[in-house]
Amino acid sequence: MRITAWSLTFLAAAAVPAFGLIQCPAQNQTSYTNPNGDVYLIECNIDHCGGDLPNDGQYVPSLDACIALCSSTANCIDVSWHEGSPDGPCYIKSTVGDASQNSHVLGAKLVSKAPITTTSTKVITTTISSMTITTMSTVVTTISGSVVASPTPFCPNLDGQSYTDSCGAVYVIECHVDHCGGDIPNGMQYTTGLDTCMALCSSNSACVDVSWVPGLPEGPCYIKSSLGAAEQNSNVWGARQISGCTTTTTSVSTATTCGTVPTYSAGSLPNCVRCEGQPFLQTALLGLVFS
């Protein structure tokens, strides 16, 4: 009887969801699927400002418990859990604001919602010659899950191919490759895609390589001043710069004087005035683009 009682207790405990499964920093920037099928991107020590939903700040024992609270709340797409013992406050958010580093926070962003399946029973009653026939059928309806956002699909589509950005800089796309080290100080910013990450690199003359971690609506972009050893990382989209920008914008100021100017009148040419009968160019700021 003791064994039976212990077995029943064990089975009852097994039915309770297990929390505390997400570990930071080991699972930083990896995807986590909670029991109902929603997918989140784990962001260790990242807090997104603002967007707090009413009645948030409930105390829960772990980040995955905080995610479960988000999944059960309408319009929730982001969480910030402040570590506590045994519980810490869980802030659920309807927007993904600016990211800030916070060593006391474990965060997660919603990537996609799970499909919703509903089951209903349809009862049909038919009378034939005073005989009643009742039939029952089960109807299963599935509503596809929604994707919160979708980054530009560089990977795996363009892996190994060259890409030219808007300033003419050329990159080689390296899907799931991260070059160790070389991070430019204070260079990490959140961008909407690998293309905007490359644009950030192109704007910095010291940058030669990028590593972007896909995130929705934004992911961290690391710009690098050197090419370290290449490592395989399924969470990273990389791009190595082959050549820099081919176009630059330069401002040139020109000014012309012609002595005393008692009177003047508009000339027939654009940006030109007459000064005591002698034409001269108006002071102008010319933006010239060289390629």
| H or E segment and range at residue 86 | none
Predicted local distance difference test score (pLDDT) of residue 84:
87
Q: In the chain, where does the domain assigned CATH 3.50.4.10 lie?
A: 14-112, 162-243
Which one is predicted more confidently, 256 or 219? Answer: 219
- Mean pLDDT on 126-131: 66
Q: Tell me which long-range contacts 222-225 makes (C-beta under 8 A, separation of at least 24).
A: 222/183, 222/187, 222/188, 223/183, 223/184, 223/187, 223/188, 223/197, 224/179, 224/181, 224/182, 224/183, 224/184, 224/187, 225/182, 225/183, 225/184
Of the candidate CATH numbers 3.50.4.10, 3.30.1490.20, 3.40.190.10, 3.20.20.150, the domain formed by 14-112 belongs to 3.50.4.10
The answer, yes or no, to whether residue 229 has pLDDT greater than 90, is yes
Q: What is the pLDDT of residues 4-37, one digit of tens each?
A: 333 333 333 333 345 678 989 889 888 899 888 8
Between the alpha carbon of residue 109 and those of residues 64, 80, 112, 288, the distances in Å are 12, 9, 9, 44
The domain over range 162-243 is classified in CATH as 3.20.20.70: no
Comparing 83-92, 118-127, 241-250, 274-283, the range with the smallest average pLDDT is 274-283
The answer, yes or no, to whether residue 269 has pLDDT greater than 60, is no
Angstrom distance (rounded) from CA 46 to CA 43? 6
